Amino acid sequence: MDSSLWLPLVGIPIIVAGFALRFNPLLVVISAGLATGLAVGMDPAVLLETFGEKFMNSRQLASIMLILPVIALLEKYGLKERAQSWVSSIRSATTGRILMLYFVLRQFTCSLGLISLGGQAQTVRPLLFPMAEGAALAKHGELPEHLREKIAAHAAACDNVALFFGEDIFIAFGAVLLMTGFLKENGITHIEPLMIGLWAIPTALCALLIHLIRLSWLDAQIASEVAQWQQRQQSQQIKQGGQA
């Protein structure tokens, strides 16, 4: 088999190895793209021009890159602390309830095509996670590191799942139009974007129900893990005191 057929795939092992070694995802993807372009014989100047063109054509990526300095500046001046302090003042607020409310709002707005109202960079990192963590801190005090990471993972998952299943309901969403065009090219002409959007509603509702059930258990899991962690801390202190 001609080895040139395998050259366009050179970026795949780079991505796998980079993610496995936990390198910066952006650097891994860029390195894989550069390696693939050079492997297939692209001129370096043309390759850089292609990167710039694709970046400028991706309005969503460009908006995220532009908003990152704003988020960083807000975090520097205490956005996280303000969010946690505000949540701590609400007695009924819990980690699970905050994430459930965000999930419902996020999926609803995505179904209307308002995808940019939320997101990992502009909402989850600076607001949602600090609020969810602040609710847990107000209820239980100090939290172990693994539990903070668990709350952060749930916050990120809320945005991802709600976006994934909510955006398919919006009939002008790119994936819906892509599916409609693909079906028409293959002779299935009676499928319209409205039909795909309507049939996406049951799936979105199932995702909503399943995720809300998972989040309803989260507060009990946090309480249980905090209690176990505190017991281990007390046992260690007793052992250290006995050895002294």
pLDDT of 154: 95
Q: Which domain range does residue 5 map to?
A: 1-57
Could you tell me if 117 and 164 lie in one domain? yes
Residue 27 within any structural domain of the chain: yes
Could you tell me if 36 and 107 lie in one domain? no
Could you tell me if 115 and 194 lie in one domain? yes
Could you tell me if 210 and 123 lie in one domain? yes
Residue 202 within any structural domain of the chain: yes
- Residues in the chain, total: 244
**C-alpha span between 122 and 109 (Å, rounded):** 15
Could you tell me if 148 and 239 lie in one domain? yes
Among left, alpha and beta (phi > 0; psi -120 to 50; other), residue 187 is left
pLDDT of 104: 96
Could you tell me if 103 and 177 lie in one domain? yes
Residue 63 within any structural domain of the chain: no
pTM, to two decimals: 0.70
Could you tell me if 95 and 199 lie in one domain? yes
Number of domain units in the chain: 2
- Selection from 140, 117, 116, 119 nearest residue 59 by Cα: 116
Q: 199: how many CB neighbours lie within 10 A of its CB?
A: 12
Among left, alpha and beta (phi > 0; psi -120 to 50; other), residue 77 is alpha
**C-alpha span between 84 and 169 (Å, rounded):** 33
Number of DSSP helices (H) and strands (E) in the chain, helices first: 11, 0
Phi/psi at 43 (nearest 5 deg)? -65, 135
> What's the sign of the alpha-carbon dihedral 92, 123, 69, 67?
negative
- Spell out, as residue ranges, where the chain has pLDDT lower than 50: 1
Could you tell me if 3 and 92 lie in one domain? no
Could you tell me if 192 and 95 lie in one domain? yes
Residue 20 within any structural domain of the chain: yes
